[in-house]
């Protein structure tokens, strides 16, 4: 019988990107790693060994054991991982579940005679106070035929929305800019954002 109990813990991996992943270091020694639950796939490494992909339900024995782990997040959403560590030979069957983080919505209705004149832009930071955005939707409801452009923080065009076009949606916590690229005032643009609670 294995006398070394399984030690369970959790970690929140901060947001990042492929070029600059968010990381979290956890110094718990062990010989086996068990990913009990995670809100999204992630990458990790034991001590200074190679980096690998990990998902919920993974059971990873580590030859020679490890002193600590580094978790990596290449996405724009924080990842929560619940995991177990301990000695090899532990009998443990993880529950494979995917937990959806709680969210709430916030709408912004840009309308009025001078809200979005030609060349004017409105910026949406990706935060509601300290709450991080999960998703943004933009719809051009102009009564005329005036188009708007959706841009990222660097001014790169992500979409051109004609008047009356279907809503445009993007999962991002980054800054989004809505710019009137027409020569006349746009009468109305509706913005919908979903934030993590």
Same-domain pairing of 63 and 114: no
Same-domain pairing of 124 and 80: no
Mean pLDDT of 90-104: 64
Mean pLDDT of 8-28: 93
The parent domain of residue 45 ranges over 7-86
CB 25 within 8 A of CB 69: yes
Instruction: Please report whether residue 93 resides in a domain.
Output: no
pLDDT at residue 36 is higher than 90: no
CATH classification at residue 183: 2.60.120.770
CB 98 within 8 A of CB 40: no
Our count of domains for the chain comes to 2
pLDDT range class, residue 59, cuts 50, 70, 90: confident
pLDDT at residue 2 is higher than 80: no
> What is the reported pTM?
0.51
Give residues with Cβ within 8 angstroms of 48, minimum separation 6: none
Of 132, 70, 74, the C-alpha closest to 103 is: 132
Instruction: Please report whether residue 95 resides in a domain.
Output: no
Same-domain pairing of 154 and 190: yes
pLDDT (0 to 100) of residue 86: 79
CATH classification at residue 43: 2.60.120.1250
pLDDT tens across 127-185, in order? 998 888 989 999 999 988 889 999 998 889 999 999 999 999 998 888 999 999 888 99
Same-domain pairing of 82 and 112: no
Of 116, 105, 104, the C-alpha closest to 161 is: 116
pLDDT at residue 16 is higher than 50: yes
Same-domain pairing of 76 and 130: no
Residue finishing a domain among 86, 112, 145: 86
Of 72, 71, 3, the C-alpha closest to 33 is: 71
Same-domain pairing of 23 and 79: yes
Helix runs in the chain, H state only:
none
Residue finishing a domain among 86, 113, 147: 86
Same-domain pairing of 155 and 190: yes
pLDDT (0 to 100) of residue 95: 57
CB 75 within 8 A of CB 16: yes
Same-domain pairing of 33 and 115: no
Cα radius of gyration rounded to whole Å, the chain:
23
**CA 35 – CA 93 distance, rounded (Å):** 10
CB 36 within 8 A of CB 84: yes
Instruction: Please report whether residue 158 resides in a domain.
Output: yes
Same-domain pairing of 73 and 114: no
Which is higher by pLDDT, 97 or 45? 45
């Amino acid at each position: 019988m294995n006398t070394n109990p399984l030690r369970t813990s959790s970690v929140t991996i901060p947001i990042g990107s492929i070029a600059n992943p968010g990381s979290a270091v956890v110094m718990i020694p062990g010989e086996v790693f068990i990913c009990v639950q995670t809100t999204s796939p992630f990458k990790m490494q034991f001590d200074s060994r190679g980096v690998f992909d990990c998902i919920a339900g993974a059971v990873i024995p580590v030859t020679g054991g490890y002193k600590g782990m580094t978790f990596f997040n290449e996405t724009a959403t924080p990842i929560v991982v619940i995991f177990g560590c301990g000695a090899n030979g532990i009998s443990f069957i993880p529950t494979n579940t995917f937990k959806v983080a709680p969210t709430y919505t916030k709408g912004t209705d840009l309308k009025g005679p001078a809200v979005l004149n030609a060349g004017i832009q409105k910026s949406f930071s990706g935060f509601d106070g300290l709450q991080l955005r999960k998703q943004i939707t933009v719809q051009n409801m102009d009564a005329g035929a005036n188009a708007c452009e959706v841009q990222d923080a660097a001014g790169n065009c992500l979409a051109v929305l004609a008047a009356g076009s279907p809503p445009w949606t993007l999962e991002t916590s980054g800054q989004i800019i809505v710019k009137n690229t027409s020569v006349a005032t746009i009468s109305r643009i509706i913005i919908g954002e979903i934030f993590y609670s």
